[in-house]
Amino acid sequence: MSGHKYDPRHAVFLDSEERKERQRPEDIFSILKAEKEDVVLDLGAGIGFLTFPLAEIVRDGKVYAVDVQEEMVKKLEQRRSEKSFDNVDVLLSSECKIPLPDREVDKVYMINVLHEIDDHSTLEETHRVMKKGAELLVVDWDKEKVTEHGPPTHVRLSLEEAVKSLEQKDFRVEDTGKYEDHFWLLAEKVD
Ligand SMILES: C[S@@+](CC[C@H](N)C(=O)[O-])C[C@H]1O[C@@H](n2cnc3c(N)ncnc32)[C@H](O)[C@@H]1O
């Protein structure tokens, strides 16, 4: 958790065809699949790599696409209007405030974001906005892999460090795994 933020000038790479070959939304959904009526938080949504595939799934629910960078939020809003999704709400957050009520969401996706958050308050906020028993999927770059793409090794986390930071914030880690250059962990909110 480094506070190092993805540079919005490179935002186009977040939704490139090349990325979709390395990290497919389908692979993410094979770990945690949203249901048609779910209310979902895409935390650190970037330009919506996962937001729009999610919106296709939660037809009778909602996706909150939340990011701390105004440039990302603007791009998300623009893409939402181009794609005419009325079940996507785009919100600007801060490191210590997610602008949602308590216990609002059924599922949270945090894709390549955990290593960027500044301190533990984002995790506390994530916990606050989740319903009891709601699930959180974290996918992030594995510190133990040397890769051509992705953030520098010194800002990444290992799977063990990620598990520890979640457990400190009252999440119960249910399952973990690794694929390609990433690790993932699935956690449940414990009240
Ligand atoms: C590497 S990008 C990944 C974006 C998107 N999840 C994806 O997979 O394409 C990380 C994003 O997380 C956002 N971010 C970093 N810290 C955050 C925080 N504490 N709360 C919300 N968003 C955050 C950044 O602004 C950036 O847009």
Q: Tell me the domain boundaries of the chain.
A: 8-189
Question: Mean of the pLDDT values across residues 77-87?
Answer: 92
Please name the amino acid found at residue 46: G
User: Is pLDDT at 121 greater than 90 in this prediction?
Assistant: yes
Task: Name residue, tokens 């914030």.
Answer: 169
* Single-letter code of the amino acid located at 20: K
Domain 8-189 top-level CATH class: alpha beta
> What's the whole-number mean pLDDT along residues 98-118?
97
Alpha carbon distance 95, 58 (integer Å): 26
CA 168 to the chain's CA centroid:
19
pTM: 0.97
Q: Average the pLDDT over 165-188 and give the result.
A: 95
Residues with CB under 6 A from ligand 1: 5-6, 14, 43-46, 49-50, 66-69, 72, 93, 95, 111-113, 116-117, 122
Q: Whose CA is nearest to atom 4 of ligand 1?
A: 46
Tell the residue nearest (CA) to atom 10 of ligand 1: 113
- pLDDT (average), residues 137-149: 91
138 contact partners, CB below 8 Å, separation of at least 6:
110, 113, 114, 162, 166, 184, 185, 187
Q: Residues 106-116: what's their mean pLDDT?
A: 97
Residue 172: the pLDDT is 97
CA dihedral of residues 157, 177, 32, 88 (deg, nearest 10)? 20
| Mean pLDDT taken over the chain | 94
What pLDDT, on the 0 to 100 scale, is given for residue 83?
84
